[in-house]
Structure 1
């Protein structure tokens, strides 16, 4: 990071907080990743207002690289039981196990007063989503973008719902967004930031139920590009997750 970047008040504030978190939890802790993610959202919000700022754009690029590197090297444990399968490639389509869905998720979904909302254009993005909030999303097998219309805090989606925090009675999981076909080209969490005049999207492929591979990044990228009518690839950041680590034989 250049001396000029370090002097930026937002960058300096996050650097100080991140240093304290690293001392307490470790340099590679999830707390540090959370703060990097928060800084990225803040810098993109600044970039929406200062679109010609090379300084802010450079910091955004640094943060994207750093966060992706941490995801790549962080490792993801393999599930105890596989409940999804790839049903097609190019593009990749993943199907969640129907018996598992019916056993664990059908009844809770039917008891809810919400359903996923299809997002097809910029007007729907601005009407349905709160800027800066995190949302669960699924891109279905037809390339349509579905959002669960409840805003979450980034803190909650990264660390889980701690005791005392206000939550829905039932945790929503990605298959609930596409209950009829249970198929996805991409699934994870996304945040829209910026202003009505200039929007940025930060998405990831974090879904323990669909477990989309890195190749699925194109699915969410293309769906968001259509919804925002975006012509600048830099408007959309997609973080991928590493392949699950299989347990050692005999463990």
Structure 2
């Protein structure tokens, strides 16, 4: 069990390391962001072993770290990007659909090769890792979470996920939903494992879909439906994307009905 002195030592060690990262890479650097995310995951693990005053200290620290990371995301200077090739329909939740022609030209053949590595969350059995690992996920238009089961180290994410390729093609979130290319949320998720998944730390970082902050609710709902996680055990970091990505064309009622009939 982690005692109060243990909790204080852990918090102090992370504070010193965060200061070092900020000094070495910059206070708004991706390196500092991912260090804080790793701390957030570690605190989730530590809370499983803590009690009493130590648990309360760790809870407070987790809340503070979550607030700091979210502030860094909210104030990040995002590069000027072309509008994503998507359209949005619905309102609660918003459903984001990737362009079929572009998907077919760029991703379809590689997506077929990785089909067996994509599972629904309720089927997912991630291995316990010595360090936190992240996975690509989407919440599809039915509200179910799909996960690509190949893990990423935090350092890989700092350098960019495009290092992961299938058949020479960089893996992208649309490849997880090849049937309809529709999602409510997409990003990266890190499981906290102790005899099963006890909590998760996720984000909404998807340049292909650019889900709005409101999509965080869909992530929590999908985790609850799949494995019974309490929403309080799902930390979801949002990105400062527009409420609807690049104001794409909105489907009319006939298109919406047609899309639903194919589900």
TM-score band w.r.t. shorter chain = 0.7 to 0.9
- The answer (yes or no) to whether the contact 2:94–2:184 under 8 Å persists in 1 is yes
Question: Displacement of 1:113 after TM fit?
Answer: 6.4
| 2:204 aligned partner | 205
Question: Displacement of 1:89 after TM fit?
Answer: 1.4
| 1:110 aligned partner | 112
- The answer (yes or no) to whether the contact 1:191–1:202 under 8 Å persists in 2 is yes
Q: Aligned Cα RMSD in Å?
A: 2.6
Which of 204, 210, 233 is the equivalent residue of 1:235? Answer: 233
TM-score normalised to structure 2 length: 0.81
Does the C-alpha gap of structure 1 residues 171 and 114 become closer, same or farther in structure 2, counting only changes over 3 Å?
A: farther
| 1:249 aligned partner | none
Mapped partners of 2:233, 2:213: distance in 1: 19
> Secondary structure at 1:45's aligned position in 2?
helix
- The answer (yes or no) to whether the contact 2:74–2:240 under 8 Å persists in 1 is yes
| 2:256 aligned partner | none
Mapped partners of 1:128, 1:6: distance in 2: 28
| 2:249 aligned partner | none
Which of 91, 94, 98 is the equivalent residue of 1:92? Answer: 94
Mapped partners of 1:99, 1:220: distance in 2: 28
Mapped partners of 1:184, 1:88: distance in 2: 12
- The answer (yes or no) to whether the contact 1:108–1:170 under 8 Å persists in 2 is yes
| 1:147 aligned partner | 147
- The answer (yes or no) to whether the contact 1:47–1:194 under 8 Å persists in 2 is no
Question: Displacement of 1:17 after TM fit?
Answer: 1.9
TM-score normalised to structure 1 length: 0.84
| 2:47 aligned partner | 47
Does the C-alpha gap of structure 1 residues 87 and 96 become closer, same or farther in structure 2, counting only changes over 3 Å?
A: same
Q: Is 1:214–2:213 an aligned residue pair?
A: yes
Question: Displacement of 1:166 after TM fit?
Answer: 8.3
